[in-house]
Amino acid sequence: MSEHGRSRWVFPPWVNQLRVVAGVALVVIPVYLVVLVGFGASPRTTDVGYAPEQPVPYSHALHVGQLGLDCRYCHNTVEEAAKAAIPPTQTCMNCHARIRAASPKLLSVRESYATGMPIPWVRVHDLPDYVYFDHSAHVRRGVGCVSCHGRVDTMEVVQQVEPLSMGWCLDCHRNPDPHLRPPELVTSMDWVPPEKPEVYGRRLREQLGIRPSTDCGTCHR
């Protein structure tokens, strides 16, 4: 082999610096990956903030925030059933047969009313099908809509504000105190407890005998 060729197989002195680089990389890369996957794959990143475009530019900020409609005017099954029903077109037509009756924004509402075909609202919140969730169990015991859906009365477009992960459900089932309120005030968006939420909620919990279950069978049945 030639002189030149042999030197190709000898590490030059700067390679020693790579040991430092490799050492740093050995520490930084795992930390980096943990942070990236931990934050990147968390439902707070992938799910929270989902705000699909709806077929009608219906605004909760207008109807709830300004006109002061109660959630139950439209989502009228929320206290009795597992599902908070999305209102049928008839509910919109209660008012819109006469208010903004010619508005182009309401064209598909009128079309749906005339043809009987439902408005294809896009689901915002969607638990996996193997999870059992029940609105009435929460609303009747005094967990406010705002605890799980945020300030809907300020939303032009509904968005998901909570991760809806199992950890999130369990956090509250283990310690519901800060989220409890008198059951008749569940739809109030700006209610604040008269004293520290933990203290007030604890009193309510003891008074009403609220004990959210953490057994697997509660939510997986």
Partner 1 sequence: MPRSLKYALAVIAVLALLPLALVAKARVATSPRPRVHLIFDMDNQPKFKAQSANPLFADGRAMRLPVPGTVARGTLVPQEVATGRKGVQWLEVIPVPVDRQLLLRGQERYNIFCAPCHGYSGYGDGAVQRRAERLEEGTWTPVASFHTETARARPVGYIFNAITNGVRTMPPYGAQIPVEDRWAIVAYVKALQRSQWATLADVPKEVRPQLEVRMREHDGTR
Q: Quote the least distance from Cβ 133 to ligand HEC, whole Å.
A: 4
Which listed residue (36, 107, 170, 199) binds partner 1 by CB under 8 A? 36
Nearest CB to ligand HEC, comparing residues 5 and 104: 104
Of residues 169-188, which lie at the interface with ligand HEC (CB under 6 A)?
A: 169-170, 172-173, 176, 179, 186-187
Site membership for partner 1, residue 105 (CB under 8 A): no
- In the block, residue with structure tokens 């990956």: 33
- In the block, residue with structure tokens 């967990």: 143
- In the block, residue with structure tokens 């700067």: 14
Site membership for partner 1, residue 97 (CB under 8 A): yes
Short-list 139, 133, 148, CA closest to 183: 139
Site membership for ligand HEC, residue 46 (CB under 6 A): no
> CA-CA distance, 110 to 207, in Å (whole number)?
48
DSSP 8-class letter at 61: I
> CA-CA distance, 206 to 132, in Å (whole number)?
26
> CA-CA distance, 215 to 221, in Å (whole number)?
11
Contact residues toward partner 1 (CB under 8 A) are 14, 17-18, 21, 32, 35-36, 39-41, 44-53, 66-70, 72-73, 76, 81-83, 85-86, 88, 90-91, 93-95, 97-101, 116-118, 120, 128-130, 157, 159, 184
